[in-house]
């Protein structure tokens, strides 16, 4: 059986004006992963979403990989959901970044306060009760990701493939493989580490989850490299 290596992007730039780029640690995580893949994986193709953090993760991996990786092919189906739209539908006032910063600064741990708000915002989105508030609904997001997965497997035709994507798409693919409900799928999204590797074995229409959320390459290099946001 061939293998799909689903890779969550390196740490992005939370709190910066442009979130969609790797932090310094994110670049380091990608290089570590590239070194770890060397000698273990020789992919026939590399895919990713259209987001900058996906492309930069592949660039970082390539710089650590002994040899050359195929050029990344961008597929919009592997893009993350619009987290800004999801949280602003939950807290409309946070469309103003200054207001969001002010509100979060009132908490002893602003990053934890944001995470709690984000989890609640995603639950609201996934409930299906407020679909009129979103350009892309939870059900639409799942259809998009799974359609991209089907197309990739047909294209890959039995070769090993790397896919640089985000936690949301990885959670949806694992949900489909394990027949999980939405609550459990959302729970997966909260624990997927940056540059973790999830392995899916496939042969024709058969697909099996072999490994979920492996980040041992980071732990072996430096436990401080393990991040989840």
pLDDT tens string 131-150: 999 999 999 999 999 999 99
| Residue 122 confidence (pLDDT) | 95
Banded pLDDT at 111 (limits 50, 70, 90): confident
Domain locations in the chain?
2-81+156-225, 82-135
Pick the CATH number of 2-81+156-225 from 3.30.2010.10, 3.30.830.10, 3.40.50.1240, 3.40.50.10540: 3.40.50.1240
- Taking every pair of Cα atoms in the chain, the longest distance, rounded to a whole number of angstroms, is 53
Of 14-23, 46-55, 122-131, 156-165, where does mean pLDDT reach its minimum? 14-23
Q: What is the pTM of this model?
A: 0.93
Total Cβ atoms within 10 A of residue 21: 17
Least Cα distance to 80 among 150, 172, 152 occurs for 172
Report the sign of the C-alpha dihedral through residues 209, 210, 215, 217, in that order. Answer: negative
| Residue 18 confidence (pLDDT) | 63
How many alpha carbons fall within 13 Å on the CB side of residue 65? 19
| Residue 17 confidence (pLDDT) | 60
Give me the residues paired with residue 208 across strands: 201
Contact 198, 162 (CB under 8 A): no
Q: Which two tokens stand for residue 194?
A: 């940056």
């Amino acid at each position: 059986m061939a293998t799909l290596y689903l890779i969550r992007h390196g740490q992005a730039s939370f709190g910066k004006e442009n979130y969609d780029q790797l932090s310094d640690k994110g670049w380091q995580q990608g290089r570590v992963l590239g070194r770890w893949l060397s000698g273990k994986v020789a992919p026939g193709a590399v895919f990713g979403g259209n987001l900058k953090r996906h492309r930069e993760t592949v660039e970082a991996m390539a710089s650590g990989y002994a040899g050359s990786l195929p050029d990344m092919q961008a597929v919009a189906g592997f893009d993350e959901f619009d987290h800004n739209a999801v949280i602003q539908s939950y807290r409309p006032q946070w469309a103003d970044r200054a207001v969001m910063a002010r509100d979060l600064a009132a908490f002893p741990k602003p990053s934890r306060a944001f995470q709690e708000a984000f989890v609640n915002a995603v639950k609201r989105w996934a409930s299906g009760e407020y679909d009129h508030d979103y350009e892309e609904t939870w059900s639409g997001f799942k259809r998009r990701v799974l359609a991209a997965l089907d197309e990739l497997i047909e294209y890959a035709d039995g070769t090993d493939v790397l896919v640089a994507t985000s936690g949301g798409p990885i959670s949806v693919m694992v949900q489909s493989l394990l027949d999980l409900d939405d609550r459990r799928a959302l729970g997966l999204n909260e624990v997927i580490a940056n540059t973790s590797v999830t392995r899916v074995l496939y042969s024709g229409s058969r697909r099996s989850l072999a490994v979920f959320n492996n980040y041992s390459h980071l732990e072996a290099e430096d436990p401080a490299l393990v991040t989840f946001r």
